[in-house]
Amino acid sequence: MAQAVGVIGLGTMGAGIVEVCLAAGHEVIAYDGYPEAREKGLERVRKGFARRVEKGTMEQADADAALARLSGAEAIADLRDVDIVIEAIAEIPEVKHDLFRELGATLQPDAILATNTSAISVTGIAEASGRPERVVGLHFFNPAPVMKLVEVVRTALVDPQVYADAIEFAEGLDKEAVPCPDTPGFLVNRVLVPMLNDAVRTLAETGADPIDLDRALKAGAGWPMGPLALIDLIGLDVQLHACEAIAEGLGDPHFAPHPLLAQMVEEGRLGRKTGEGFHTYEAR
């Protein structure tokens, strides 16, 4: 059933979520607190549908119809009547908590509030909202239009019907909706983040060429993409925040980010989105 969906944060992930929701037939109201980021995000969505048409996976008329269901918002108040809101802003707990306090005070009582966090406690976000029984995690994977998984994160506070509705919503996006407990890293990142951190550690300690390390994992372990290229795709800053959050949540130093990762983030080498990470990329 088509719903009104609000998406907050229109970076790469947020724009991808907007595209996925539009393609599934929903109406989407998209918001970013930075007007320039909002315009870039909306243009990213338009380009996403143009690629679908070019590849022959969508008719032009269907792409036009999807984009006609998209509108940009200039304030959180513009989202007051949505059925579900999905937050995809920076991975900073205090910033997310502030946003969910505002959402809890603004949205209709029956709205579902969802966070796309990859590692931050959904329970903490839910408590900040003032309506924790209506908060879930909907953790999409990058790039959202391509990756099939959505981790649907439940807290001990969520209403069972709200959680069931969230799973149904994710499945309606043609995604593999996997139930997850609210534990640091959920399921995938609990396994993946330390593996990627070990790849950075191996690079730093061996002096290997990043291209060779990635080639080795692809040819020897069957990875479809090398671990360093994957970090570049995810974003080195996102990987850094995930490492820090999981290490703190579990009290396990094995998850702590390698100093090389922190150094590269400080230098602004964030991967594909900046054109340079462990590899270099042409400007898009």
Q: Is 27 among the catalytic positions?
A: no
How many other CB atoms sit within 10 Å of the CB of residue 220? Answer: 8
Q: Is 151 among the catalytic positions?
A: yes
The b/e string for 64-84 (b: 16+ C-beta within 10 A; e otherwise) is eebbebbebbeebebbeebbb
Q: Is 258 among the catalytic positions?
A: no
**CA 160 – CA 166 distance, rounded (Å):** 10
Residues in the chain: 284
* From 26, 87, 129, 139, active-site residue: 139
CA distances from 104 to 93, 95, 130, 190, 192 (A): 16, 14, 6, 29, 32
**End-to-end C-alpha distance for the chain, whole angstroms:** 35
Task: Please name the residue ranges forming H helices in the chain.
Answer: 12-23, 35-55, 60-68, 93-106, 122-129, 160-172, 188-206, 210-221, 227-234, 236-250, 259-266
The candidate with the shortest Cα–Cα distance to 184, out of 146, 226, 139, is: 139
Say if residue 143 is preceded by a cis peptide, omega within 30 of 0.
Answer: yes
* From 118, 121, 129, 197, active-site residue: 118
* From 91, 129, 151, 197, active-site residue: 151
* From 116, 129, 189, 197, active-site residue: 189
Q: How many CA atoms lie within 13 A of 140 on its CB side?
A: 31
Q: Which residues are the active-site residues?
A: 118, 139, 151, 189
